Structure 1
């Protein structure tokens, strides 16, 4: 009886979620209304079978995707939303970067010394508390981004900026790598004048390096409200390592090729200057 009550409560909370799709809502409501002690296993088996085709294609809305993992006996790691807080205002700061899909922006920062927490989310748009589906449409103005809380005693904002420029294609304002769309454009969001000055200096350094033939299009904008993404998207590299590694490989191959072209371009420029 307790198991049914817990499950009905879980289903009820999902039904209250405004961001799940109508057909998901229909399946969940049908299951909730049909549950009893005698048909529990039958109803759960039926629900799992109905959700499976979309789950295998990674096409469930995030919270339903988490529920499906629980339904199939997989442990769901919950996000850092509740612990993603500045606890020492004197020595802790925030940095917010957008650089394509946020799945690939977490690990490079989170694994560095001095990083306290990294949260995936959405910012820069026109509606409050957007869902992944809404942002993915490209119509809300939001970008996928990461908010980083870091310890200034161990790592500086300058060091985070230096890492950021290594992770993106700064010449592409229509997306990043295989991720296309307005929601994937690269932006540095700054929270104060000091961050803005440092960001502008690093951008100018990239321009002056001569490594890129195309213009540097990465924006620098004032930080707006940062909306945390659904639990499914948090620490994605830990939850789905195989899928993450495949996506990461594509980015790394492109960046390696771009860096090689940049080096060749720099060498060519030096040779031309010698013969002037």
Structure 2
């Protein structure tokens, strides 16, 4: 491949308004590396790895997808969720943290209107954190998922409702079997409308008296989201038995919590 041709294409993709922020950030890193005279092959290998979580599923925006296919030599990916130029600019991103991100992908990924679900890290202070760094709990990041969705098909209200069903909003020290600050329950809003919906939904949950402990899930403004290493992407597809076992454990703990709350309510009624 000709380096000058690649540079020109990178430049055009970076300026393309349809290119998403995640894509643009990685394309910019590649462009700067080539301008700094780094080896073309090494730069492209890194870029392919960075784009692979979405590229392997055909969920990059159209022009970036074409570029990805060109530099990988891969065949086009056929998928019902592929982003089209006509609606790419209308897509939105929802970011949720609620324990290990392995368990948060499938419940969203299998819903209509979902373009992609990316596991990653957000909310911290360390740039480009690794899984091992976040696992220790010293970077300030939480494990989270970034969900690109079509609001014409799937509403943010529905996504928040799913989030509440998957988490324990009363646990300030983690989620279920996942313990530590990196597993906190957080809704990260990306605009004012999401902020209002998340706060209203949280207040409704508080007033429902569904739980016997305070609701501690945080609602925070979204900060930089760092996609996790490729190993963690689509984990439920790679290791379905492992994820199902984790899901069963979470479900059992949720059931025990509901039984405990119901028992306390019954005791109050008998008094």
What TM-score results when the alignment is normalised by the length of structure 2? 0.67
| In structure 2, distance between residues paired with 1:84 and 1:261 | 45
The verdict on how the C-alpha distance between 1:209 and 1:235 changes in structure 2, with shifts beyond 3 A counting, is: same
Structure 1 residue 84 displacement after superposition: 4.8
Matched, 1:124 2:98: no
Matches for 1:219-234 after TM superposition, within 5 Å = 219-234=218-233
Looking at structure 1, the residues matched to 265 and 90 of structure 2 have their Cα atoms a distance apart, in angstroms, of: 39
Other-structure match for 1:207: 206
Aligned to 1:144: 143
Change in Cα spacing, 1:171 to 1:89, as seen in structure 2 (3 Å) is: same
Alpha carbons of structure 1 residues 172 and 108: separation in structure 2 relative to 1, 3 Å: same
2:79 counterpart residue number: none
Shift of 1:113: 1.0
- Largest Rg, 1 or 2: 1
Residue aligning to 2:182: 183
Contact 1:95 1:148 in 2 (8 A): yes
Conserved? CA contact 1:211–1:266, under 8 Å: no
Q: Could you tell me how far apart the structure 2 residues matched to 1:111 and 1:266 are?
A: 35
Instruction: Indicate the residue corresponding to 1:102 in structure 2.
Output: 101
Residues 1:80 and 2:54 are matched in the alignment = yes
C-alpha separation between the residues in 2 aligned to 1:184 and 1:108?
18
Q: Counterparts of 2:206 and 2:60 in 1: how far apart (Å)?
A: 34
Question: Which residue pairs with 1:193 in the alignment?
Answer: 192
Contact 1:131 1:229 in 2 (8 A): yes
Change (3 A) 1:238 1:244: same
| Residue 218 (structure 1) shift | 0.4
Question: Aligned-pair distance for 1:188?
Answer: 0.2
Q: Deviations over 1:76-107 (max 9, x none)?
A: xx522673557535531100000000000000
Matches within 5 A, 1:1-276: 79-80=53-54, 83-84=59-60, 88-265=87-264, 271=269
Mapped to 2, the partners of 1:121 and 1:89 lie a distance apart of: 22
For residue 266 of structure 1, report the CA deviation from its aligned partner: 5.5
1:264/1:194 CA distance change after superposition, 3 Å? farther
Q: In structure 1, list runs of 5 or more residues that go unmatched.
A: 1-77
1:130 partner SS:
coil
Cα 1:138–1:81 shift into 2, 3 Å: farther
Structure 2 SS opposite 1:79: helix
TM-score by length of 1: 0.66
